[in-house]
Amino acid sequence: MVTDQEIIEALRKVMDPEIGMDIVTLEMVRQVSVDASGKVTVVLALTSDTCPLANRLRTDAENAVRNVNGVASVEVQLTVMNEDERNRLIEKLKARGRPAPPKQVKLPKERVKKIIAVVSGKGGVGKSSVTAMLAVEASRSGLKVGILDADITGPSIPKMFGDIAAPTAMENRIMPGLSLGGIKIISMNLLTGAEDTAVIWRGPLVSSAIRQFYEDVDWGELDLLLVDLPPGTSDAQLTVMQLLPLDAAVVITSPQELAGMIVTKAINMAVSLDVPILGIVENMSYVKCPKCGETIRLYGESKGHLLAERFETKFFGSMPIDPGLSKACDEGRIEQYYSAEFKEIAEKVLSSASVSTST
């Protein structure tokens, strides 16, 4: 049976032609696994998503591994280094007197005026709801809006909008789906057509799907493109923050202590990737008693403004828990939902991002 160590030794013969060092020393080999049938899977982390040598490195790695005795087949998956891996590489190169690899080149912006990502790190805090509500408020104020649903494995945007005219293929481009209110939407759900089928994809595929959602979709002229992110701080976030020409990120938090901790990680990730933080929205902050109007703070005092102070960013406000909102989301009627609290938050977000109409 082939061992991981034998594979790693074989990969030492694969050189990065630009840097002139082998990919093991450069710590580009993120993962090696061998299954009982002799199938080898290797994950290589490249310095950037647009690395021109990606295909060559993949072929060289495949050939090197294929030559090891006992290997039945090889799959080399490509991903992008995270900030820590990249910093370690830069240190290594510095120690050998070599220049740092070029920084990630962002995709061009074309006719989209502003691109804002909605991030959190934490799951279930309302990123997708806030993305949808922001899009609706922006559209109500006359802006041309699109939503790129970067939650490839757990998309939830289409359900919130209900009836969406399906995306269509035109020559080599994809025309995005269109909501009843005229918001352009692209999401994995709209392409697979199945709401309850899980997409089980590894990081590299998730990254390339997000890239295609941006590059291959004909967004036309937009005042604002919102990007809804999945929870976590992994490949999807990395791709969106490194590759898309984001203007800023809006951070969604909730008042639980744990949320603050996880959200901090997401903010740090954005900062380390030079994505400006526009500000923070606290969701599910309180409940208003429908009978007496008293404010009940289920998770204690609001902490959103403290988080904003700590990161020297704006606090856009708090959104209450509103059963009307979850009902509207569940029934696909987000475009008919109205919240005075959210309208105020949306106005602050849009004006602080200087989003304006194209006419």
- The two beta strands, 73-80 and 39-46, are parallel
The residue whose two tokens read 């998309």 is: 155
User: Which residue stretches of 28-126 are H helix?
Assistant: 54-66, 83-95
Site string for Mg ion, 87-126 (x = CB under 5 A): ----------------------------------------
Q: Does 179 bind Mg ion (CB under 5 A)?
A: no
Q: Does 237 bind Mg ion (CB under 5 A)?
A: no
**Given the complex with ligand ATP, which of 47 and 129 has the nearer CB atom?**
129
Q: Are 353 and 247 in contact (CB under 8 A)?
A: yes
The stretch near ligand ATP (CB under 6 A) out of 56-64, 86-94, 126-134, 180-188 is 126-134
Q: Does 336 bind ligand ATP (CB under 6 A)?
A: no
Can you tell me which of 128, 187, 254, 302 binds Mg ion, judged by CB under 5 A?
A: 128
Q: Does 297 bind ligand ATP (CB under 6 A)?
A: no
Q: How far apart are CA 278 and CA 227, in angstroms?
A: 14
Q: Does 184 bind ligand ATP (CB under 6 A)?
A: no
Locate 166 and state its tokens.
């399906």
Can you tell me which of 74, 188, 266, 325 binds ligand ATP, judged by CB under 6 A?
A: 325
The stretch near Mg ion (CB under 5 A) out of 79-87, 155-163, 188-196, 271-279 is 155-163
CB 338, min distance to ligand ATP, A: 13
- DSSP labels, 38-53: SEEEEEEEES-TT-TT
CB 179, min distance to ligand ATP, A: 16
CB 90, min distance to ligand ATP, A: 32
The residue whose two tokens read 């991030």 is: 119
Q: Does 295 bind ligand ATP (CB under 6 A)?
A: no
**Given the complex with ligand ATP, which of 79 and 128 has the nearer CB atom?**
128
- Strand runs labelled E in 35-189: 39-46, 73-80, 112-119, 145-149, 164-165, 168-170, 173-175, 177-179, 184-186
Q: How far apart are CA 250 and CA 266, in angstroms?
A: 11
Q: How far is CA 297 from CA 234, 318, 319, 346, in A?
A: 32, 12, 12, 22
Give kind and range of the element (H or E) at residue 15: strand 15-16
Q: How far apart are CA 328 and CA 281, in angstroms?
A: 20
**Given the complex with Mg ion, which of 128 and 207 has the nearer CB atom?**
128
Give kind and range of the element (H or E) at residue 140: helix 127-140
CB 222, min distance to ligand ATP, A: 22
Locate 261 and state its tokens.
């901790």
Which option in Mg ion, ligand ATP, none does residue 321 bind, with CB closer than 5 to 8 A by kind?
A: ligand ATP
- Of 210-269, binders to ligand ATP (CB under 6 A) are 230-231
Q: How many CA atoms, within 13 angstroms, populate the side-chain half-sphere of residue 33?
A: 6
Residue 191's region, left for phi above 0, alpha for psi from -120 to 50, else beta, is alpha
**Given the complex with ligand ATP, which of 231 and 304 has the nearer CB atom?**
231
* Other Cβ atoms closer than 10 A to 96: 10
**Given the complex with ligand ATP, which of 14 and 345 has the nearer CB atom?**
345
**Given the complex with Mg ion, which of 126 and 279 has the nearer CB atom?**
126
CB 129, min distance to Mg ion, A: 8
Q: Does 187 bind ligand ATP (CB under 6 A)?
A: no
The stretch near ligand ATP (CB under 6 A) out of 15-23, 45-53, 75-83, 316-324 is 316-324
Which option in Mg ion, ligand ATP, none does residue 184 bind, with CB closer than 5 to 8 A by kind?
A: none
Chain residues in the site for ligand ATP (CB under 6 A): 120, 123-129, 151, 154, 156, 230-231, 283-284, 319, 321-322, 325-326, 329
Interface positions with Mg ion (CB under 5 A): 127-128, 156
